[in-house]
Every structure is written in structure tokens, then in C-alpha cells.
Structure 1
Amino acid sequence: MTDDAGAGLPERAPLPGGADASFDRYARLVRTQLGVPTALVSLVTRDGQAFPGALGLPLPWQEERSTPLTHSVCQHVVRTRAAFACEDVRELPELPGSLATDDLGVVAYAGHPLRDADGVVVGSLCAVDGVPRRWSEDDLQVLADLAGSCSSEIALRQLRERADAALRASEGSRRLADAAERRSRLLLALSEGLARTSTADDVVRAVAPLAREELGAASAHLHVLAGTRQRLLAVEPDADPSDPPLERRVDARDAVGAAVRGRTTVVAEDRTALLAEHPATDLGAGAGGGTTVVVPLQVAGRVLGALALTWTGSGRPDAAALGVVTATAGYVGQAVARAQLLAEQRSTATLLQEAMLTELPQPDHLQLVARYVPAARDAEVGGDWYDALVTPDGATHVVIGDVVGHDMRAAAAMGQLRSLLRTMVWAQQEPPSHVLSLVDEAMRGLHVPCLATCVLARVEQGADDAAAGVRRLRWSSAGHLPPLLLGPDGTAHQLPGSGDLLLGVRTGTPRHDHEAVLEPGSTLLLSTDGLVERRDRSLLDGVDALRRSLERHGGLPLDQLADALLDDLVGGHGEDDVALLALRAHPEDRPRPAEAGPGHL
């Protein structure tokens, strides 16, 4: 760096050095919402940069909380007074000689200016990744929103310091500091509360209590455009989920419709003034009769709906109060946009997954039931699958598998692998271990780039088994959970035999078959690990819990048994996708039970 490296930078920082818990919270929010390993609240001066908020820095910098300018990318934000985002800072000629990459691991960088109480850019709220990354518009908008709240916190500290230094700060300055504190507290609480929302109902449930506690509002209602964008759906925090949502047309005689159509904030000092201007307005029984403010929710040039706030007291809010409400609506709009995108992605992911699942055959006296439950994580589609088919030699084959990964690529690879395995089973009619070996070779030759666990089981019946009234189960595992077998006496156990190497690792690996007898009345259960794995218990404990549940509900019809297992082990949506396939061998010396449905191949 040159001798005038500090030119154009502030002489002193607005805050004392060292770690600060409040600013660490901002770093934590940036890291969580943008999914980056490192997030910083950086204050830059001519002498270097300090990090009152920091998560993810390598040692010793995380402890020291400061670096010289030779390690500062944030100085670029301060010098230009503008947001700065770069996929790879190593390619930038503007930052010659920076040691940020070598010592701090800065490769991808996104920073938004932090301003002090005087509006001076004093630092940057930044997200850092150790590998090249393209920043989305949503990433940069979230960073900008959090930087605004962080700047308010800096300004608040400065105002307090100035007030204390003056010993007797004027009442007006104190009110300004208190207002800044309330605004900062509200916006930070909104950032934290809305970060956990995934639906419009979640959003309004997060906003309503904050509007009451921090703004003194009597009610907060969310109205979201639906369908052809000619109607608005009311989303209320205390609504009964079984009640249909209240709909209204986008009508300028209604304050909500006027705000949405005109893209403008509607303000009325009391109910009388509101109805005089917008006579069709109905904000519900819980709305206050005083001041009403309706703000359109606008994101990236699109209007998504409106936020309506009411108070019991009358009067026109001042500019500062309206600014807080407008900022609140901005946060709410981002959360609603995210919820709508997640809903669309969930729908797409679910349709894709369901399209890849199989309609099960029902061979005579063999009943099959399957379940698939997607993970609770939004918009994630995984590689879990099940399959079943009857080959020309009369054997019934059942498959359960899981491709490594949780994205569209994993789902696509699963579709390829499922089709490949299904074809091999039909064409070969060989023992399961032989079929899996052929699948391994085909995956390599056809360039199916994935790793997967799998159990392939074949249910057959030779002459001796038919005479004894039993069936023979042959199965082979590629690194998957062993099957569970529930005997006709109601006891369940894990079938013996270790799993072989996963599919897709290498060809030529030895694979083994295992055998078991299926007596009349027994039930075979195959599942993916999402049914038994949880963060608060080991895999062995999960398998044991599944075995006990299988014994507890084993007397139920097979459909009800599958649902009972999911209720016991998963509840609602679990932490991972769950695929489950159950096969029950009904006695062949009597008619097929009615609850098993008609047999078909």
C-alpha cells in the first residue's frame, strides 16, 4: 500500500474498538440469511479497520477484531460511498496489494455502506465467501435492509454519547435518541422474526405483536394480491385456519385497494376521515377507530399487497412515525415475496418428486403400500425413491433408495437411476446382487454422476416353498438401512447381513445376497434414513424406535400401519425426506383380504 493509503477515509471510528454483542447479532443475521461463512460489521479509518461485529474470521483476526488497511476490502465501500459486490475480489484492479484473500479468506464479497448519525459513510456491513459466488438481488436487498438497521444502531450510540457528553441534553435530542432506539429495536426484531417465516400467515403472526408492542397499534392486517391480481386475500394473525380467507376486489373506494392500485400510502387520522375518502373500507372487527395507515408492499417494482395498521387514538402521524411504518412495510414485503417464491418452489418440487414415484402393483396375496413425505426444508427436493414391479418369471421386486444430495440435480439423478434399475430388474431376472453390479457398470458407462444407497429385494416362490405355504426373500444392500421383518407372531427384527458399497463408487465391487423366509402374515418394511435419523438421537436408537413402533402397530391394516409409523417417527415434516415401502404376505389358502384391495400387476 502507498503512504497515502488512508486518504479519503474517516479519521476516527464512531465507536470504540472491540467486540460488541449487538453488532455480532447483525453479523449473525447476515450469515444466516445469506448463507455465507463470514459476516462482518466493519468500521474503516485511516489507521485500519475494526470489527465490532464479526463471525467466521480466521484466528487471530476473530479475536483481535481489527486489521490494517492492507487487509481491507471494506475501504472500497467507504471511499465510493456505495454498495459493492464482487464475485471474486482477486480479479479487481481497484484493490492492488490487498492481503484480505490470503489472510482473511475473502474471495466473494458483498458490502453495503454503514452511515453514522451525520450521514457519513464510516464502514460496511458485508458478507464474505471463501469461494467465488454470484450475489443475487435478494441477497443484496437483505444486506441493504440490515445495513439500514445497523446504521440506526451506530447513530443511536453516537447520539447517546453526545447527549451524555453534554450532561444535560435537550429534551428534543433525548426524544430523537429514544425514537432512533425504538426504530432500531423494531427493525432488528423484524429482521429476526421475519427470517424464520415461510408463509404469509407466518409473516403476519410475526408482525402483529411487534406492531402492538413497538408502535402501539391496535391491529395489523396483511392483504395479498391473488389470482389475476384483481383480488386481495386478507391474512389475519388470529384467524381460524379452517375459515376461508376474506377476499376483496382491488377497488379504489377501499383504502387497501387504493394503496395497491395507486402504489401510495393511505393515511387517515380517524375512522370518519377514512370512510369519507374510502367508503368501502372494512379492516375487520379488531381494527382501531383512530389513525389508520395502509402501505403498499412493493418489491423489485411489483406490488404484492398492502399492510394495514390501525390505532385507537386519533391524529395524523408525523414524518418520523410514517418512516418507521414504511420501513416496516419494506421488511414485510420482502418476507411476503420470499414466502410466495418458496410456495412456488415447494409446489414445483413436490410435483417433480410425485411424478417420479411409482404406482405399486398388487400381486395376488402380496400387498404393497408406500409413502413419501418431503422434508420440512422449503423448496428442497431430494433423491429418495421407492419402486416395485413383477417380472415375467412371477417374482415381485421391491426397491428403496436414496441419492446423495438435496436439490434438483439429486432428483434428476434419482430419476435416471430409478429407470436404470427398473430396466435391469425386468431384463435380467437375476439375484439382486447381480442386478446391482450391472447397475454399477451401467452408471459408469452411461455417465450417471451420483452416489446412492439402495436395497433391492426379490420375493419368489419355488415348488418347495409353495408346498410349505411360504415365500423366499432374497435381498442385497448398497450401503442402505437393512430391511425390518415383522413376523406373524408380532415380533420385529432387523434382517441380518451387512450392506455393500454404495452405487456409483466403483465398478467390480463384490456384492452379496441375503435370504429370509416370508411366512404368511409377515410384513417386510423398507425405508430411507429420514424415517429414523434425527439430530437428538443416534441412528441405532432411531432404528430401535422404528422396530418398537412396527411391533406396536403391526396388527393394523397395511395402509394404517404405514401412517402410524410416520406419525410415531416423523410427526409432521421431518428434517429429511422419507420414503417407506411395506410388503405384507397374506396367507394363500384363503381369499385375498378386502382391506388389501383387488390384486393387480
Structure 2
Amino acid sequence: MPEQGRKSEANPSSSQQRALRWAGLKAASDIGMDRFARLVSRVLSVPVAFVSLVEDDRQILPGMIGLPEPWSENRELPLTHSLCRYVVASGRRLVVPDARADERFDTHPAVTDLGVVAYAGMPLTDADGRVLGSLCAIDHQPRAWKAGELSDLEDLAAACSAELCLRILSAQSRSAQQVLETARAAAEHARSDAQRLEQEAQAGLDHAELLLRASEELAQTSGLEDVRRRLRDLFVGVGKPSYVGLLVAEKDELHRVPDPDITHAAEREVLVLPADAAFPSSQALRERRTVFVADREAMVAGYGTKAVDFFDRMGFITVLCLPLWGSRALLGILAICWDKRHEVGVTERATLTAASGYVAQAVERALYLDERVSVARELQSALLTDLPHADHVEISAVYQPAAHDHMIGGDWYDAYHLPRAAGSHDETSALMITVGDITGHDMHAATIMGQIRSMLRQATLDHPPHSPATALTALDAACSVLPMEASGTLVHARLDPVVSSPDWTLTWSNAGHPPPLLRTPDGHVTELVEHDLLLHRSLGPFDRTEHQRPLAPGSTLLLYTDGLVERRGRDMDAAVAQLISLLARHGRRPLDEVLRRINTRLADPAPEDDIVLLAVRTPAASQP
């Protein structure tokens, strides 16, 4: 047996056992100790972690995550299965990359029965330096423990030791209050020590909770604004900064991401910083390292007058600038500022550095998502039709995207003139109009929308006399064959002038879309409710039907998508009734104004879905 193994045979001292009793921890789950175990598991990415305290005849686990039954239920291990007792016996940390390859432990029950392969344990001590147990990280696979991981584990062990000290001293203080009056002075001294340790322990807990919050909060972000919003309340507790700023690197500049909800003077003052500016954040970008400015004297000595004036106006005294490293490059800088002198100790700096890693992951994900959203928005905008010039027919359209940038939709409108028939002398050509909504709110939906729009145009122009139903039937047939997941609704319509008459004819085919509205010159509005099934490749091709209506001079046709009238918490029938009322009341106004009034009254300021409105008005009858 190696020397370390021989030392571990000694039982814990009686003073250690008294300290354990003062701590009040048993072979049962403890909320605070479980939090430390979860934090070790998260920070070091290990499947098993626990707070282990060594008693005379057993090892108890008040904080634990990842052990199987029956250990997870019993919360204790026999000393024969304990590697932590070596930490207690030696008073030093124990780091084992692969216990199976270590002659000290290759046949140890912890390896054979519990599946321990990689092990790292840091001593947990009381106020007098007695080792009570260890904070352990365990992996079931061989692991070369990194220096940063061991440093993080050591920091967490220091915070956990402070918590144990606090519990022990608090218990001793409560006991001291029950002794004779002559022990009052000693109790006061113990209370003072407990107060000091409580501050240290609270700081340690705040740091640990910061990492836990960062890992949970920032994992759910969807864009840079969301990251900036969550940073606002991430840093709380002891040493809370007065301002936390996010600056994103772009070429040779830093661009500040403003808080989307709260206006900060700091963000209005300096939105863009060149990389060569004499500012702490620019230095952190240039030198790719953490920059700490302890106070105003250090700011004056190390930076330019612009930086000094800026920090004076903002009231900042201490500044910490942390690089945000992505998987391939430096993404930006996290600027943490205090309005009073603040000592950033080794543990706090390590905690803030670890938290900046979570911020960097969120920023990298946000930049990727924002770039995809930007491309999709540009694609969607490019696919929207420039409305054709028409001397006779008035036409107008509105497209309003969803408020959430990641909600890229498949709503679109289209309008184009049909070629005149050979030999026709009529100057007024027929007009095709379409409004549709492809299912989905992502890049895929926008891409499918573009394909459907182009295919429907081609189907219409390739099938004279350009019947809407014939074109939709051809589109169904193509979608049932082509490898594309196309589904949604649309209305495809044709407006034809009646020869030698001021009237027009509307012919349309509806694939499951909200019914168009037709307003006659007298203000009466009709829903054109005739429709077929929606567009979906699984339904197969079938013959679409079409319908006709005569349009008197000055009639207005309105097509729209469901984002205008359908949303959570509102009755859709009531919304359609309100739409009909608005069209009836304002339908004589210019179409641009009609659509603006409708969209303002019915749509949310921040709609959850895309909205499309397309209106066409036939020429009014000429005056005699």
C-alpha cells in the first residue's frame, strides 16, 4: 500500500468530529450543499459531483449529484469506497486522471463498484484549518484535468468551506448564548468572527450563484438584444456593479449593444470605439486580455483624457474589461463598472471570467442567429413584388413582418399584368393578384414561399387563358412530385375588363385562405367565402374550382393573411367583423390610406405573425 494509502487508514480526529457535529450536516440532502454539487457538475461538465464529509465509520454526502441508487437515497458511502478520506488524511487536493491506471487505486472499490475513473477532490476546512471532507468532481471516463478546471474547483471549495465555517460558527454562537454570563465576552468574539465569515461566505455564494444563473439564463437567449437585457440583472449580491456593458467587435471597432428597455447615459455617450482608442475596453480588444482599472488615478495614468472625462461623467471608479472569446475569434468585450472603489479579488475575478465565458457563448449564438435573420429578411423583402403600374386599376399593398426578428414568415403578395391576346386592341390588360401564407416562421418557410410564388407565376403564364384554378391545379401537381415540404393557403385571382363596358370581372380560386372581401361603391362589403382545400403535398393533385363575380365601377377587393385577424386572446370572427366595418366605412379613401387605417386599427404594434394586405379598386364610372 502506498504511503498515502497508509495515512488514510487513520480515523478522523475527535476535533474534526466535533466540527462536523457543529456543522449540523447528516446523511441527507442539504439545499446549500446540493447547490455546490450542481455547480461543480455544471462548471466542470462532470456527471458526478458531491460534498463529502468523513466521519469515524462512514462518508456522508449532504451535497450530491449523479450517484446511482442506493447511494443517492442513502447519502452515505462506507470508508472502503471513499477516495475523499485520502484528501482528509493528507490535507491536500487529490487529482487522478484515470484511477484504473493508477496502482494506488486500480482495485479500489470506488473504481470497481461506483465506476469512478477520473477524480478531483479539494479539501473542505473549518475556521481552524481542520480538513472535514472534500468537494469532489468525478467522471466515468479518463480525463486530463485542466488547470482552469482545478482552479474553478478550488474556488468553489473555498466558498463551500466558508459556508461550513459559517454554519459551525453560527452553531457555536447559538450554544455560547446559552452558557453562563461569564462566557459572554467569548460569545461576542465568536459573533464577530461569524459576521466576518458570513460576509466572506455570502460573497462566495454570490459568485457561485452568478455562475449558476449565467449558465441557466444565457442558455435561452435568441439575439444580441436578449443577451443585453439578461445581463442587466445577472450581476447581483455582494459587489454588484453599477453598470454592465456589452461591446461587440466588428472589424477594427467595438460597437456597444444598448439596453433595449432602459436608456443608459453610458450607452448614449460612446456607441462606437476604435480599436486604437485610449480606453480600457479598446486595450482589452487590442491585447486580447483582461484589463483592470482600480481607480481614477490608474485611469489618469494609463489612458487618454477622453477616457478619463467619459468615466468621470459616468461616475465610474473601478473598471474590469473581460474579453469574450468565441469558438474561432474574439467576439467583443464585457465591461463591468463600479461607482465606488471595488477590490476584485482572485476568487471574484475567476468567477467573473467564468461568467464571461457563458456571455461569450450567448453572444456567438446571437450573432449567428442575427445573421441568419438578416439574410432571411433580405430574402423575404426581395421576393415581395413591386406593384405594377396601372393606368386604370388602383392597387396598393402592405407587408408588416412579425415583431420578433427570428419569426421569419412565408406571407407574400404578388401582382402582374397578363399579356394581351393576339390581335387585341384593348389598352387595358387583365391583372393577376395573389396573396398567400406558407406554413412556418423560419428561413425554410421564406425559401418555400419564394419557390411557390415563382412556380405559381409560371403555371399561370403557361396555361392560357390564364385560369386561376388551372394554375393552382398545376401547382398542386408539381408540389406532389417535387421534394419540397410546401403547405399553406393562398388566393389566386384574375381581374378582367369587360369589353365595351366600365365593368370588370373577378375570377378567383381559394386554397384554404381567409376569404377575400369585396366592397361595392355603395359601401356594402361581401365575404367571398367559396374555397377549396389548403395547399399540401400530402393531399395530392386535384382539380381546383374557381368562381366569378362582376365588379361594378369603383369596386374594391381586399385580400389579407391571417396575421391581421388571428392572434391569441382575440376572437377571429369578431376581428373579421371589425375588418368588414372598417372597409365599409373607409373604403372610398385612397387605397394607401385605407390599408394604413386597417392595419393600425387591427394589427398589434408588435405582431406575433407577418401581415399582408393587398387591395385593388376598379376604375370609377366616368361622369356623363
Q: Does 1:348 align with 2:400?
A: no
Q: 2:607 aligns with which of 549, 574, 589?
A: 574
Residues 208, 573 of structure 1: alpha-carbon distance in 2 compared, 3 angstrom cutoff: closer
SS of equivalent residue, structure 1 residue 215? coil
Paired residue type of 2:473: S
Q: How does 1:422-501 map to 2 (within 5 A)?
A: 422-428=457-463, 429-463=465-499, 466-467=500-501, 469-501=502-534
Q: Taking structure 2 as the reference length, what is the TM-score of the superposition?
A: 0.66
Match of 1:381 in 2: 408
Q: 1:545 to 1:50 in 2, by over 3 A?
A: farther
Following superposition, the deviation at residue 484 of structure 1 comes to: 1.6
Report the aligned-residue RMSD: 4.3
Distance 2:247 2:484 in 1: 47
Q: Is 1:234 equivalent to 2:256 in the alignment?
A: yes
Task: State the match for 2:552 in structure 1.
Answer: 519
Instruction: Please report how far the alpha carbon of residue 274 of structure 1 lies from its aligned counterpart in structure 2 after TM superposition.
Output: 1.8
Q: Counterparts of 1:270 and 1:203 in 2: how far apart (Å)?
A: 28
Tell me, what secondary structure is at the counterpart of 1:120? strand
Q: Identify the residue that residue 417 of structure 1 maps to in structure 2.
A: 452
Percent sequence identity over aligned pairs: 33
Q: Which residue matches 2:331?
A: 304
Pairing partner for 1:225 from 246, 249, 259: 249
Given the superposition, is the C-alpha separation of residues 81 and 254 from structure 1 closer, same or farther in structure 2, using an over 3 Å criterion?
same
Deviation readout 1:185-216 (Å, 9 max, x if unpaired): 44455556656755545544443455476633
Following superposition, the deviation at residue 158 of structure 1 comes to: 9.1
1 CA distance for matches of 2:241 and 2:197? 25
Distance 1:279 1:244 in 2: 16
**Bigger Rg, which one:** 2
For 2:298 and 2:555, the matched residues in 1 are separated by 74
1:302-359 deviations in Å (ceiling 9; x for gaps): 2222222222332532112223332343333333333322321121001111222222
CA contact (8 A) 2:519 2:525 kept: yes
Q: Which whole-Å deviations, capped at 9, do the CAs of 1:83-112 have from their partners, x for residues lacking one?
A: xxxxxxxxxxxxxxxxxxxxxxxxxxxxxx
Residues 14, 391 of structure 1: alpha-carbon distance in 2 compared, 3 angstrom cutoff: farther
What's the CA shift for 1:289?
4.5
Go from structure 1 to structure 2 and tell me whether the alpha carbon gap of 1:389 and 1:162 turns closer, same or farther (over 3 Å shift).
same
Partner Cα distance (2:570, 2:29) in 1: 45
Q: What is the CA–CA distance in structure 1 between the aligned matches of 2:478 and 2:376, rounded to whole Å?
A: 27
Whole-angstrom CA distance in 1 between matches of 2:385 and 2:266: 33
Q: Which of 250, 255, 276 is residue 275 of structure 2 equivalent to? A: 250
- In structure 2, the CA distance between the partners of 1:447 and 1:334, relative to structure 1 (3 Å rule), is closer
Residues 568 and 372 (structure 1 numbering): CA distance in 2 closer, same or farther, change over 3 Å?
A: same
Distance 2:206 2:562 in 1: 47
Secondary structure at the counterpart of residue 66 of structure 2: strand
Unaligned runs of 5+ in 1: 1-11, 30-40, 52-79, 83-112, 125-144, 592-601
Once residues 266 and 602 of structure 2 are traced to their aligned partners in structure 1, the CA distance between those partners, rounded to angstroms, is 26
1:494 partner letter = E
Cα distance in 2 for residues equivalent to 1:404 and 1:329: 38
**Partner of residue 287, structure 1:** 314
Q: Which amino acid aligns with 1:255?
A: P
* In 2: Cα distance, 1:243 partner to 1:396 partner: 51
Alignment TM-score, normalising by the size of structure 1: 0.68
Number of matched pairs = 480
Higher mean C-alpha deviation, range 454-463 or range 187-196: 187-196
CA distance in structure 1 between the aligned counterparts of 2:256 and 2:201, rounded to whole angstroms: 36
CA change 1:555–1:276 in 2 (3 A) is: farther
Aligned: 1:272 with 2:297:
yes
Letter in 1 for 2:417: V
- Of stretches 199-208 and 428-437 in structure 1, the one that deviates more from structure 2 is 199-208
- Given residue 246 of structure 2, which amino acid in structure 1 is its aligned partner? L
The answer to whether the aligner puts 1:45 opposite 2:67 as a matched pair is yes
- Write out per-residue CA displacement over residues 339-398 of structure 1, whole angstroms, 9 at most, x where no aligned residue: 322321121001111222222223332122223333334344332222112212432111
CA offsets, 1:240-298, max 9 Å, x none?
89969632221274211111111221122211112202235354555334322222222
1:584 corresponds to 2:617: yes
1:399 is matched with which residue? 434
Q: Deviations over 1:560-593 (max 9, x none)?
A: 33233333333344222223222122315279xx
Deviation for aligned residue 1:507: 4.0
Relative distance call for 1:423 and 1:529 in structure 2 (3 A) is same
**2:244 is matched by which residue type in structure 1?**
A
Q: Secondary structure at the match of 1:546?
A: helix
| Matched residue type, 1:181 | L
Q: Are 2:581 and 1:561 equivalent residues in the alignment?
A: no
Equivalent AA in structure 1 for residue 206 of structure 2: R
> Which position in structure 2 is the counterpart of 1:57?
none
Alignment partner, residue 172 of structure 2: 168
CA-CA distance at 1:483 after TM superposition: 0.6
CA distance in 2: counterparts of 1:241 and 1:456, whole angstroms? 53
Measure, in 2, the Cα distance between the counterparts of 1:185 and 1:285. 31
Gap regions ≥5 residues in structure 2: 1-24, 43-62, 74-95, 99-119, 125-133, 141-148, 174-192, 421-428
